Amino acid sequence: MATTYLRLFSLLILLSVAAADIRSSEVRSDDRPIIPFDEFGFTHRGRLELNVSQIALSNTSPDLDLSNVGFFLCTRESWMQVLQQIEDAEITCALKSDHIKPVYTFQSLNNAQRFDAVYQQSEADQYTLVFANCLQQLKVSMNVRSAMYNLDKSGRRDYLSAGKTILPRVYFLFSLIYFTLAGAWIYLLYKKRLTVYGIHFFMLAVLILKALNLLCEAEDKSYIKRTGSAHGWDVLFYIFSFLKGITLFSLIVLIGTGWSFLKPYLQDKEKKVLMIVIPLQVVANIAQVVIDETGPYGQDWVTWKQIFLLVDVVCCCAVLFPIVWSIKNLREAARTDGKAAVNLLKLTLFRQYYIVVICYIYFTRVVVYALETITSYRYLWTSVVAGELATLAFYVFTGLKFKPEAHNPYFVVDDEEEEAAAEALKLEDEFEL
Ligand SMILES: *[C@@H]1O[C@H](CO)[C@@H](O)[C@H](O)[C@H]1NC(C)=O
């Protein structure tokens, strides 16, 4: 088991070495009519630097019209118009459309094997760099290096897309918040040290990993912003992401089972949930690395995205089972062991937790994705902020509800409360019938 993890882990690190926002791709004997490369949000001082080398065409006859082969920039809306034009037979090649911004056609190549081009983009929008090859049966091989950036006020290059350029600051701010929370948590553990359980140290570990993860993400993004490549920080970022993902899901399972604060051991079926969730998290993290590194037009991107979504959904569902089992057990205990009030309190707590976990999962998966899709490229950071705020709320809720208590409210109940609780439970049963 351990060696498998280790091997997967080194794969994770190997994969992430290729990280860069300046993208290099190899095209080999390719006759696809359209090859999209990368997408970027330009401000009105945008630049595209294109270096293409080792160009080889399968057909070198001089009567080929190479103005039908080349690179261009295009927004999503104008791409729709181009497709319409082609459908209406107004044009035969996307490169001939007036809705695109031609960057370089192979007509200017004059049998050279490489070219460098700089394109200045002054119309702010989100563009995709596309290679079009409108000649049938012409196969193209080449190495493409593309760098897209915006110039800031002082003329420095900013390699982060227009809507993402403030992300380093956002991540840094959130990491400060988590470090503060971790400090507060340590203080609380110290003050209530007589009623601290194992789970509370686990929660501390999750908090610190989350803070470190955000710090690395901030540093990673800020390095990309300055240089266009990720250089090492991304490896740290992926390592902490991986640890954070595993510990967070384990924590939800452990709290759901009531481990250490309700009972000192895990049942077999609860251990099984952990044994499913942890390996799946490994897969999810590998998928995430591949998704990030290849970009939306990379080969197999869609496959990995689907793997990631599938695994994520399975993990999210799996962590709910232990909470449901706990709720069921507590309901049964409340009826049989005569301590209705104690059990009802716990039951309420677990029900709340169940709902909050579902809200957290729903918000960070569905709502954030929807925001990402509908917001303009200039405000892409808002979906990140929304996701991080939801996560923060979830962490704070979990901390408040399961913090160590000086006197444990779950175990000290007087007779009056006991009667009231028994009554409430009876009512609830009638209600459900
Ligand atoms: C790419 O092309 C630009 C523009 O000619 C040039 O300034 C730059 O040095 C080239 N980069 C590489 C890596 O060749």
| pLDDT tens for each residue of 106-158 | 999 888 999 999 999 999 999 999 999 999 889 999 999 999 999 999 999 99
Nearest atom within ligand 1 for CA of residue 53: 14
- Dihedral angle of Cα 90, 93, 99, 100, to the nearest 10 degrees: -170
pLDDT of res. 195: 87
Please name the residue that has the structure tokens 């909470």.
323
pLDDT of res. 347: 87
277: which DSSP letter? H
Q: Quote the mean pLDDT of the chain.
A: 87
Nearest atom within ligand 1 for CA of residue 147: 1
- Token pair for residue 194? 């007589």
- Dihedral angle of Cα 101, 106, 107, 109, to the nearest 10 degrees: 120
Beta carbons of 277 and 270 less than 8 angstroms apart: no
pLDDT of res. 2: 42
The model's pTM: 0.85
pLDDT of res. 14: 37
Instruction: Write out residues in the chain with pLDDT < 70, as ranges.
Output: 1-20, 338, 406-422, 424-433
pLDDT digits (tens, 9 = 90+) for 287-315: 988 888 777 777 788 899 899 989 999 99
Taking CA atoms only, the protein residue closest to ligand 1 atom 13 is: 51
Domain ranges in the chain?
A: 2-158, 167-432
Quote the ligand 1 centre to 271 CA distance (angstroms): 55
Residue 46 bridge partners (DSSP):
121, 150
Quote the ligand 1 centre to 11 CA distance (angstroms): 32
Q: Distance of alpha carbon 257 from its chain centroid, rounded? A: 27
Taking CA atoms only, the protein residue closest to ligand 1 atom 5 is: 116
**Looking at domain 2-158, which CATH architecture does it have?**
Sandwich (2.60)
Substitution site in 103, 114, 116 for ligand 1 pocket (most atoms within 8 Å of beta carbon):
116
Say how far apart CA 269 and CA 129 lie, in whole Å.
Answer: 51
Residue 295 is inside which H or E element, if any?
none
103-132 as b/e, with b when 16 or more CB fall inside 10 Å?
bbbbeebeeeeebeeebebeebbbbbbbbb
Burial of 254 (0-12, 13-18, 19+ CB in 10 A): buried
Q: Give the binding-site residues of ligand 1, using a 6 Å CB cut-off.
A: 49, 51, 116, 118
Substitution site in 24, 51, 103 for ligand 1 pocket (most atoms within 8 Å of beta carbon):
51
pLDDT of res. 8: 43
pLDDT of res. 178: 98
Listed in sequence order, the residues at least 6 apart from 357 whose beta carbon sits closer than 8 Å to its beta carbon are 252, 256, 319, 320, 323, 394
**Looking at domain 167-432, which CATH architecture does it have?**
Up-down Bundle (1.20)
